[in-house]
Structure 1
């Protein structure tokens, strides 16, 4: 089945984008002390809510969901809570600059080495999303490039596999590969092509 991309012009009235971590807790039977172990496999989850769609938009959304065929389908989805091109728009000094790239190998999968930034510039802020190596990441601290345009980007969750050296880092609408969280969807329409509030849940598919 072909991988689809969620249309940019079908904007939800509300968007939830969150992280489901993968941990396990152990409690001592002697003193009830608890130890928690972090495991690989954290997944992004999303819920898109639609309250006002035109007739053509309703048709396109229903067609997209039907084409996905429940949890068997795959699509690329970007965090709709982040406006398109928000990073570049917030920092005009990035406009027209070369696209940032991965710089060498990762020694720490929570830290992405990068290059091709404007020199000595605040290039990313904590809470912004990026994508590299086919994985969506959240920047966990402000990032300022050095005089050579290099920067170390702290991210969460950790990379599952290292992105290739010199591969691109997406800033505008960075996407995750996701699938519907359920095999069932229902769309209730009323007169004059109005519709009840409608939500769709998605969960990341590890590449």
Structure 2
């Protein structure tokens, strides 16, 4: 199996991207009371539409789809709606309130400083497979680490913060996430906060169907699902 990188040239015009849970539900035929059980196998699912595509971009996408060989190979996808975490200046058009210090924690004499980002967040302690929360460090103190719905990457897998997590005065934060952690992870595992990706494969062998409109513009809609470990 070969894993491909998504071409920067291609951005969908419409997107469906969500976490598909795997649950078992039983409804009593007598009382209609319901019991639900969470099972392993929750996965990310996407449907991306590219319309219109000119000749060049259509060629890039069709070439990638041909290389994926149906469901044989994978490609790393991110949610184009959530490329950056909340609070990142790139989604706000400004910067978060400061002051922010230099690397040696000094400020200007008037109390202002330069923006140096929020450090390099990582796991503060090891986390076990199946965990629904992780302990992290390296955030800017007393600021929002991740907002509900933000995406993060861990060891090549994609997760979502299910609630807003605010960093402590020492820059640590407990982050509730979904899906449950895919594997045991050691302390110091880095968090990916910019375009965290997930390996996905095409749902069927017909995802390259490409209706073409007058003027030689092409429309392609592809469906993908996470390639689970």
Same fold (TM over 0.5): yes
Structure that is richer in helix per residue:
1
Report what 1:141 is aligned to: 163
Task: Check conservation: 2:152, 2:161, Cα contact below 8 A.
Answer: yes
Counterpart-to-counterpart distance in 2, 1:192 and 1:26: 53
Report what 1:8 is aligned to: 8
1:123 aligns with one of 142, 145, 156? 145
Report what 2:84 is aligned to: 85
Task: Check conservation: 1:119, 1:146, Cα contact below 8 A.
Answer: yes
Structure 2 gaps of 5+ residues are 97-114
Runs of at least 4 residues off by over 6 Å? none
Task: Check conservation: 2:127, 2:187, Cα contact below 8 A.
Answer: no
Task: Check conservation: 1:40, 1:160, Cα contact below 8 A.
Answer: no
* 1:60 to 2:60 alignment: yes
Counterpart-to-counterpart distance in 1, 2:132 and 2:142: 22
Structure 1 gaps of 5+ residues are none
Task: Check conservation: 2:141, 2:170, Cα contact below 8 A.
Answer: yes
* 1:188 to 2:211 alignment: yes
User: In the TM superposition, what are the counterparts of 1:91-106 in structure 2 within 5 Å?
Assistant: 92-93=95-96, 96-106=117-127
Q: Secondary structure at the match of 1:71?
A: coil
Task: Check conservation: 1:115, 1:149, Cα contact below 8 A.
Answer: yes
**Alignment coverage as a number of residue pairs:** 205
Shift of 1:202: 0.3
Shift of 1:2: 2.1
TM-score in terms of structure 1 length:
0.91
Report what 1:198 is aligned to: 220
Max radius of gyration: which structure? 2
Task: Check conservation: 1:102, 1:165, Cα contact below 8 A.
Answer: yes
